[in-house]
Amino acid sequence: MGMHFLPKPMTLAVLGSLGILCAACGSNDDAPAVASAILSGSGCAGMEKIQLPNVTIRSVKEVAADSTRPANVTSGAFLPAHCVVTGAADAYKGSDGVDRYIGFELRLPKTWSGQFLFQGGGGNDGVINPALGTNTGALAALDGSNAYALSRGFAVVSTDGGHQGTDASVYGKDERGRIDHAYNAYDRTAQIAKQMINLYYGRTPDHSYFMGCSGGGRQAMMFSQRFPSYFDGIVASAPAMRVASGASISAAWESQTYNAIAPRDAAGNPVLSRAFSESDLNLVSNGVLAACDAKDGVSDGMVQNPSSCQFDPAVLQCTGAKNDSCLSGEQVAALKKGFAGPRNAAGTALYASWPWDAGIRAADWRNWKLGTSTTATPNSRFITLIQNAMAYEFLTPYDANFNILNFDFEKDPQRLAAYSAIYDSYRTTDLTPYTSRGGKMLFFHGVSDPIFSSNDTVDYYQRVAATAGGMDKAQSFARLFLVPGMTHCSGGPATDAYDGLAAIVNWVEKGAAPASVTARGTTAFPGRSRPLCPYPQSARYKGTGSVEDASNFVCE
């Protein structure tokens, strides 16, 4: 059975030597059988009486159905009547003297569909997000609560990842805190949720699902590899599969590259955000569209086939003085270096390259890579989030003085290796333990994602296909959908509202593999729809009919 916790945590060096660490994290046997129902019929209040090993029930609340609906939701309650249970598991005092536990929230609808969803986290975790069953992309922006799994009758659980607080310094100094965040907190939460579901409804779920983006996407992949019996369907969006190694190295690479060309303040210090103005990024976006937009049969502000887009920013280089209509030679060189991905002195790639796409003009791209600070103190997400995670969690041992702008691409990758071995999820490509049970998996990734390259997810999917014996075999259990223009998890010049939950449920429960997934525009392209096509296919305009309607495009 899966490991519940580590009373005497192994060292990171020992864990790292175990590869994917199944020896450490337990076998792939079915999760422990849960007890027979003792609370069925007693309602929400009965959950206060639950006694599970090393689990404390912190609160139980009955929530009435909310009849207030957004204007675009035509039927059903905004949220159904349900029971909310919060709890803490495996409390302990860390080696750093901090009291920790695995926090979770479980929501149990009064009218249950028999389905269970584990809602993935993100960032450094450290908070319990409401267990509503967040769907993919920006679907909730169009479909209100109907986008959520809870409103579709699912029981839903979420967790804080085994620590309380989003700053990596509050848990990364403690080995068990790192191990909980890597995998153990999710294993425990899944098992506890299924036990409670059985106690509440009198039976275990008919079908179980995991869905998450970013860090939640990493967690999704982790479940398919280490705990393959837990879920029937898994959706991994923009997966942070190499965040503890390659993606963070890339964040350092780009931060240093763009900082090197940034204009200086009066004291001679670079102002990172000014390396590229809004005009500069719009110029690059328009250049990409000019080179690649029409290749899908229509010029519509979207590049449907990123693999066919060959763009060279040198075409935008100024022939004279820098102005808003061109890029400086330094800017062109920096973009080429950044998009090519990090390499060491020997030329070995340390992460994936990045696709050229129109989303470089989006606010999210700037927020991650450049920030908006007008001073020499940068506020990019690479600096505020990734640097913090690297310093206190990804580096072994942690380094409170770490500065991402001083990352050494020859020496420092080795400092990430030990934790990467237990945290990252890009290495395992044989998913037979999961797929042999009928498990299905969907990947979604925005082509303009600024923190995790969609090229890396394409590479993983290709490696899975090679291991499975070919793309046709891989598509029998896993499919990848790239979202043109979309930045991290949602946003950008994209049709970024799509129902990944319905797609995975239909595949698992009805045997209907998604030949495409319809996506709609939200902030960008309102009223537009497009088919998201399973890789390696991409959408192409048929040549007739409205270019705003997905039915006039074909996957090929």
Burial state string for 331-349 with b = 16 or more CB within 10 A and e = fewer than 16: bbbbbebbbebbeeeeeee
The catalytic residue among 143, 232, 424, 449 is 449
The catalytic residue among 214, 380, 516, 538 is 214
Are 486 and 363 in contact by the 8 Å Cβ rule? The answer is no
φ, ψ for residue 443, nearest 5 deg: -115, 140
What distances in angstroms separate CA 366 from CA 70, 122, 228, 259, 339, one per listed residue?
A: 31, 20, 37, 13, 14
Local structure of residue 354 (DSSP, 8 states): -
Within 10 A of 223 (CB to CB), how many other CB atoms are there? 27
Are 279 and 272 in contact by the 8 Å Cβ rule? The answer is no
Local structure of residue 33 (DSSP, 8 states): P
* 40 is an active site residue: no
Nearest to 405 by CA among 427, 435, 383: 383
* 113 is an active site residue: no
For 52, what's the count of Cα atoms within 13 Å in the CB-facing half-sphere? 29
The helix (H) or strand (E) run that includes residue 456 is: helix 454-468
Q: Strand, coil or helix: what is 392?
A: helix
Residue 47, token pair as written in the block: 């959950």
For the chain, give percent helix, strand, coil, nearest 5.
Answer: 35, 15, 45
* 488 is an active site residue: yes
The catalytic residue among 412, 488, 496, 499 is 488
Which residues touch 148 (CB under 8 Å, ≥6 apart)? 79, 132, 133, 134, 135, 140
Active-site residue list: 214, 449, 488
